Amino acid sequence: MEFELRKDDGIVIVKPQHALTEQDFAKLSAAVDPYLAESGILNALVIYTPDFPGWDSLAGLLSHIQFVKQHVANIRKVAFVTDSKLISVVPKFADLFVSAEIEHFPYSDFDRAIDWATTEA
């Protein structure tokens, strides 16, 4: 999984390239946690993938759940930028469980998603 932490904007752009692994979330946490310790909040998490790749194992799934559980309170916005049918329904359900503002954008609307992610709520 590729990701970019844009400290100036306070956003993380995650680009899943393959089935998600336990190591993917360890690396993401290692990059995000020091930023959160310093700033306290992440303005946005942008997930950019044409289709959700799933997980390589149960450990990958559990690591994903743990990452969300540990970080969800410190994220203002989440943008799903994908054409995945599965992910397109996530914002409807996630609103019930998280306080972050959540939006779905078609994969071709990456720039619009970044604009939304970097705009004050």
Top-ranked range on mean pLDDT: pick from 13-27, 61-75, 98-112: 13-27
CB 83, CB 9: distance < 8 Å: no
- On the question of pLDDT at 88 being above 80, the answer is no
Q: 37-78 pLDDT, tens per residue?
A: 999 999 999 999 998 888 999 998 899 888 888 888 899 998
- For the chain, count helices (H), then strands (E): 5, 5
Q: How confident is the model at residue 96 (pLDDT cuts 50, 70, 90)?
A: very low
CATH 3.30.750 fits 2-118, yes or no: yes
CB 46, CB 81: distance < 8 Å: yes
Q: In one letter, which amino acid is 6?
A: R
| pTM assigned to the model | 0.87
Whole-angstrom distance, CA of residue 51 vs CA of residue 41: 28
